[in-house]
Amino acid sequence: MRLNLISKDITVSQSVFSLFFPVSLIIIVVSLVLLHPFNIAAAVSNPAATHLSKPEIMRLGERMYRDGVLPSGDPAPAFIRGDVEVDSRAFSCSSCHLRAGLGSFEGGVATPPTTASKLYKPYRRPPSIGDIPDRAGRYTYSKTVLERPAYTRETLAKALRFGTDPAGQIFNDIMPRYPLDDSDMDILISYLESLSLAPSPGVSSREFRFATIITDDVNQEDRQALLQSLQSFIDQKNHQLALYNDFVKFGYTPTIDMKYSFSQASIDVWELKGNSKTWQGQLVSYNISKPVFAILGGISNKSWQPIHDFCEAQRIPCLFPITDLPVVSATGWYTYYFNKGYGQEGEAVARYLHRLENLPVETPILQIVQDSPAGRALAAGFEGSWHELERPAVTTLTLTAQQLHDQTSLNKLLKKHKPAVLLLWTDAGPLPNLTTLVAGLALPGKVFISSGYMGNKTANIPETVRSRVYITYPYRLSPYVGTRDSAYDATIPTLSSAKDFGDRRIASRTTAMLKQTLLRGLNLLFDNLYRDHLLDIMSTQMDQIVRDYERLSFGPGQRYASKGCYIIQLGAGANPALLPRSEWVIH
């Protein structure tokens, strides 16, 4: 917080205390509080955190830096624009300086690095396009200090409390001031001194080591679709490095970008076998044997939860695994998913129904859920969004695959609950009985199914009920401009023209991940070889246009890149059109 006092440093001599103690001390402390709440922490400090172990200091410092929470568990005091108090949990250090502490640029404001390796050295800002106004007289590129001497622990503490650098230059008003006591300040600075101090495991100035993860339930065709895309990427990286070395050999002077863009790369396959409860131990063994910088892709038909937990614990980036059962969490950091899988399809239906003007609030909805991970994920996605929208609870029945084939029992359930909307979160088993199910619904008689769960058999929906059946479709419908098979017209796609309808699209999604997200991140790492910095870079990328999704969007802390889903219907005929009934982003 910026101080509005006559003096920035308040000291009380021992002679004053000896003459007027304790009355004068009371007056001084009360005066400080009345003048400004910010100063009390600086004037009355706790002892430094010398009683804590180093691991505990690092844990508490990390929580302060990333979450804005004090060692006591309370939000850290924080002020912007002079005296505006803000919630430090929303204005934590990492929200602007990012997790690796190497800074960012957003909205015309540059946030410099906050790691000790940068702070404890003199700094001079590189020239920017704002240093010389253009002919139109437009404003500067960013407002940052031009030059400053190196920080010390004392001047760094002063900067965090009062917003001035070692040269006395005042920070931008949007930089919070944190009036921390000595103990908490000591913890925070100790953490900054360790932040991004050494390169992460699995990387050096000339080599990146990667791994991918495949579980033993994946068939050979899917396995090869993943591995071929990954190996092609690694081969291309190594071929580019060979060309770069040839250029240098013949006297070519590479640019700074080229120096760091071309590195050796390798990839190992971490195969997980048996019960998923044993996966953690297998992953730990792989990582101890040969640590990697990041995990690229991966594929499993089971829940990704054990792998997700391993990556979180070991702080290893896991980039875009092929899974329909990702971990849906607001706190995960190290795994980037394409989307929320089956759960996202359920969310889409909830949002779609909520927006229907002709669907009264009291409309009875029945959710029939197949007793399987996919069925439960679809139901959880729907129920989570439905509850968030403050809609009344729906009736949910969980049935086995055998029960779903019993048409008589299903008819009795429909007669008992009298639904007007049926959410059929099952595989393709009930499709032969779909006509009878639709006939048993009250008006408006809508049925919702998952194209992800039913797969290509979605095409078997009887033509007589297609106008009543709505399908979740988490992939692109519009033409993808940018490839040889692009179509520049706006014709509605059909089942035959929609490539891989209902499939997992392993090769195309993996290739997009490697070439349009990972490669951009690697090329911008330069010599900052930190896992968190890779994720920081990727999180601040511009939206990507890819073949399988309308777009992949990014943002700090976001871990589900595709946030949309269509609701579609099938048109008439043997090769039906895919008719969109919603826009792409509906939540």
Instruction: For residues 349 and 447, give the distance between their C-alpha atoms in angstroms, rounded to a whole number.
Output: 11
Q: Where are the alpha helices (DSSP H) in 68-208?
A: 94-97, 116-119, 153-162, 182-194
pLDDT confidence of residue 131: 52
Instruction: For residues 100 and 98, give the distance between their C-alpha atoms in angstroms, rounded to a whole number.
Output: 6
Place 107 in a pLDDT band, splitting at 50, 70 and 90: low
Place 586 in a pLDDT band, splitting at 50, 70 and 90: confident
pLDDT at 547 over 50: yes
Question: pLDDT tens digits, residue range 405-450?
Answer: 999 999 999 999 999 999 999 999 999 999 999 999 998 899 999 9
- DSSP state string for 218-267: S-HHHHHHHHHHHHHHHHHHHHHHHHHHHHHHTT----HHHHHH--EEEE
pLDDT confidence of residue 287: 97
Amino acid at position 389, single letter: L
The pairing of strands 294-296 and 123-124 is: unpaired
**Cβ(451)–Cβ(473) under 8 Å?**
yes
Structure-block tokens of residue 313: 């614990």
Average pLDDT value for residue range 520-547: 91
Q: Is the peptide bond before 556 cis (omega within 30 degrees of 0)?
A: no
Q: In the chain, what are the domains? A: 14-194 (no CATH), 203-324+505-534 (3.40.50), 358-503+566-580 (3.40.50.2300)
- DSSP state string for 427-441: -STTGGGHHHHHHTS
The rounded mean pLDDT for the chain is 85
pLDDT at 207 over 80: yes
Question: pLDDT tens digits, residue range 23-78?
Answer: 333 333 333 333 343 433 333 344 456 689 999 999 999 999 999 999 999 999 99
pLDDT confidence of residue 529: 94
pLDDT at 19 over 80: no
> Which of 257-271, 374-388, 472-486: highest mean pLDDT?
374-388
Instruction: For residues 159 and 447, give the distance between their C-alpha atoms in angstroms, rounded to a whole number.
Output: 61
**Cβ(73)–Cβ(59) under 8 Å?**
no
List, in order, residues 6 or more apart from 346 with CB less than 8 Å away: 377, 378, 379, 380, 381, 382, 383, 384, 385, 425, 450, 472
Place 334 in a pLDDT band, splitting at 50, 70 and 90: very high
Question: pLDDT tens digits, residue range 341-382?
Answer: 999 999 999 999 999 988 898 999 999 999 999 999 999 999
Instruction: For residues 329 and 308, give the distance between their C-alpha atoms in angstroms, rounded to a whole number.
Output: 11
pTM, two decimal places = 0.85
Place 484 in a pLDDT band, splitting at 50, 70 and 90: very low
CA distances, 89 to each of 66, 78, 104, 196, 434 (Å): 8, 9, 19, 22, 50
DSSP-based helix, strand, coil % in the chain, nearest 5: 40, 15, 45
Instruction: For residues 511 and 229, give the distance between their C-alpha atoms in angstroms, rounded to a whole number.
Output: 6
**Cβ(534)–Cβ(294) under 8 Å?**
yes
pLDDT confidence of residue 387: 96
Average pLDDT value for residue range 492-497: 81
pLDDT at 133 over 80: no
**Cβ(95)–Cβ(106) under 8 Å?**
no
pLDDT, greater one: 285 or 541? 285
Beta bridge partners of 472: 450, 567
Distance of CA 337 to the CA centre of its chain: 8
